[in-house]
Structure 1
Amino acid sequence: MKITGYRTLSTFHQWNRSIGDANGRIPQAVTEVPIVILETDEGLEGVGIGSHCDIARLFPAIEGEDPRAVSSLFDRMLAQVFKSGHGGATYGGIATLDSAIWDLKAKAAGQPLWRLLGGRDRFVPGYASGLDIALSDEELAAFYQGYADRGFVSAKLKGGLDLDADLRRLGIISEVLGARSNNPGLMFDSNESWNLKQAVRYVGALEAHFDLLWVEEPLRRWDAVGHKRLSTAIRAAVATGENLTGIDQFRPFFDLGAMDIVQAGAIWGVTHLHRLALAAAAHDLPVSPVGYNANPAVAAVMTAVPNHLTTEVQDVRFADGLDVDQEIQDGGIVLGDRPGNGIAVDEALIAAALGGDGWANPAGPHMRPARAGLRVLLDGVER
């Protein structure tokens, strides 16, 4: 079997709520979900979700190759762009092709990806994540009640700009999840919006009232020294890594002991996550994937590594035209038996789907505010 071509398309996820974080928000969000479909000479097709970036430049590295050599093909793609570097968005293109290749390999074997990777149990423990900074208190309670009804006992709040509001909202989540557990798990994500001393003071104030499992992306993604200093100053674990593109970028964090929980973005694909999980295991660290949940390839990896902690679940629905063989229930993700990564694409339905500006919205969370990390007071008001 040989890879012969590819095609790209985009669908849209209808969130049916506003989403955002400390960097911005998208009212009643509809966001783009890029898809890559790899074609083969045997008619088998592989599906990858994530990014279209640099696909044309990367494809020659895998064209004409047998997709069953997936790990070697990942390295060929890295080598294809070594002069300009694989960091940033280019890594998203590599990862999306990588996910599609893994889909082909599992389909050729007639196995679900989680089984092919060596998983024993199809259940992947998870936590609820509302991308919820734009929700009212009433909407926040209703959102997490829906997850409590599905068996979830842990959740992650977006915040970092207004201490009083965050204390109130953590209390709401704790009360909702407390119906299912006497000690619900609470995480807090500030999305790189603080400097070091802001993080120490803010987290200390939160910890005076709540026992946080972790604080996520408290500082800039590359600040290994700062993360190490923060970890020694607070009780909560420090979780970061979702925006590091390549195992090499984790090296200073491992060397310094600057991460307590190793995170990987779902958009960075199967091989990245698998290699990162094993690297983290060598340092006795747990791993936790972050990102869009209609990507069962990422959950499949977690069934087959020794140090999975929990996986982020952002929604129970999937984007238009995607039929995903998984269920969100019992406090996690239950993977199905469909061969491959479990994603079936209805291209006709996608062509007729409603679009939106989504992540391109300049007020949204993918645009860093000019004053991030430079506010004198963190009370929700810029001065």
Structure 2
Amino acid sequence: MRPDPTHPDTLLARAQGAHDPATHGVVPAVHPATTFLRAGDLSYPGGHSYARPFNPTFDGAETLLATLEGAAQALLFSSGMSAATAVFQALEPGDHVIAPQVMYWGLRNWLKGFAAQWGLGLDLVDMRDPAAVAAAVRPGRTRLIWAETPANPTWEVTDLAACAEIAHRAGARLAVDNTVPTPLLTRPVEHGADIVMHSATKYLNGHSDVLGGALATARADGFWERIAAIRANQGAIPGPFEAWLLLRGMRTLGLRVERACATAQRLAEHFAGHPKLEAVLYPGLPTHPGHAVAARQMRGGFGGMLSVRVKGGAAGAVAASAALRIWTRATSLGGVESLVEHRGSIEGPDSPCPQDLLRLSCGIEHADDLIADLEQALEHVPA
């Protein structure tokens, strides 16, 4: 897709100029129809036949996301997991996949089971090291490299351009989970990615009231057609009202991401070296091992997510979490409310997540209040 010169914030605020063509309302309409009228010659004059493969309500969000990502096309899915798994399901039995050791735990666990059932070769590697990625390539078999950067929940950074070069040299594709940075901070296609995934439940919607996912592609090729067929055949689509809410949420993405990034940066700088913390994990800190790579491939900030490792192990982390008053103890991220989660208790014993880690998702509350709340909570950590 040819880059749109309009600033992303303007495209988002105006929903790329979307409106209701029937009434000229400035808000796009919801189309709840599941089937569409055929003409006398059996054609579909409106361009839609049935709601499972396509729905007019999807069009606005899909077009806007494709523009933001610099992609050829985008597709909405019923969840981030349904979007991500469709990419792996489009592979052939016997293909080989490289994925990160640190990634969204739900997808990692699913992938381990699916790879065994589908006959995929699977290697989980340290994606911070391009040499480790290259060493994991199986000539003639590797067909997909999956990356997530910064990687949830320790926020390790992957060099996307290096991984794209490795993938393409092997005849494979690079797919990138771009949920946390959003296309406002990172556009993986610009760094050579072939597929971009979003859990649209998170930052794209931004209000913790929609379950959805999305994929965008650099090229509408045969692999993309297989993904679209999987979506249609499995019915892995959101409802029209959910798609409408998603587009409504996307209109404030620029403001929310800007605020979340600024707050996360303030928190990281404030709590770095705190006596009750072992470490602050945030790529916006110059001391972060991946800071230089993040600075090269991210623009406008380093994201609204960070993690802290609390002294005293799991007990110290849980004690701090329990004492919080403004931060909300809940799963998920990217909403207007700031969330905290002890990831070790969620991910289980085989997780690479340290047991002393608290994951923080910065919302749009005032940073001073969030800092003060975390300060008082850390007072409850045993000395």
Could you state the TM-score of these two structures normalised by the residue count of structure 2? 0.34
Which structure features the higher share of helix residues?
2
Q: Which has the higher contact order (CA 8 A, sep 6+)?
A: 1
Q: Highest Rg: 1 or 2?
A: 2
Which structure features the higher share of strand residues?
1
